[in-house]
Amino acid sequence: MVANGKKIKGNGSSVNSSTSIMVRNVILDMNYDMMARVLRVPDEKFLDKMAKSMRDWVSRLKGELLNPPDGEEVKQVYVKAFQEFLGVKLTKVEPTQEEWRIYETETKPRN
């Protein structure tokens, strides 16, 4: 999703033998310098360029709206939309041991 020529929403996915994960996000706010530091970049001098590049093509709701919603409001809108679209009642649960294992061994960022 793009606002004023800049990305404000992203998507991602991952497939494991028993699990498919689809990630959708709405960028409420962003620390560009921090994001550049956590991304894998070739060398230190590239960090400033990466942060500037992100400022050029990524925005956030806080920068696009006079009264941006907070995170809880966005969650509530998503939950309601998913429930209506899927015809289900979503309930909050903790990840299973297998999901934690997959996270720890395959998904968790490494230092």
The per-residue pLDDT for range 23-57, each reduced to its tens digit, is: 888 889 988 888 777 776 667 777 777 777 888 88
Cα distance between residue 56 and residue 53, in whole Å = 5
pLDDT digits (tens, 9 = 90+) for 45-54: 777 777 778 8
Distances in Å between the Cα of 99 and the Cα atoms of 19, 34, 49 are 9, 28, 36
- The kind and range of the H/E element at 6 are strand 6-7
For the entire predicted model, the pTM comes to 0.60
Residue 49 corresponds to which tokens in the numbers above?
Answer: 């360029």
Number of domains in the chain: 1
Instruction: Over range 87-104, report the average pLDDT.
Output: 93
Average pLDDT over residues 56-63: 89
What integer pLDDT is reported at residue 76 of this predicted model?
Answer: 94
Cβ–Cβ under 8 Å, residues 14 and 30? no
Q: Whole-angstrom distance between the N-terminal and C-terminal Cα of the chain? A: 31
Q: Can you give the residue range of the structural domain that contains 27?
A: 2-107
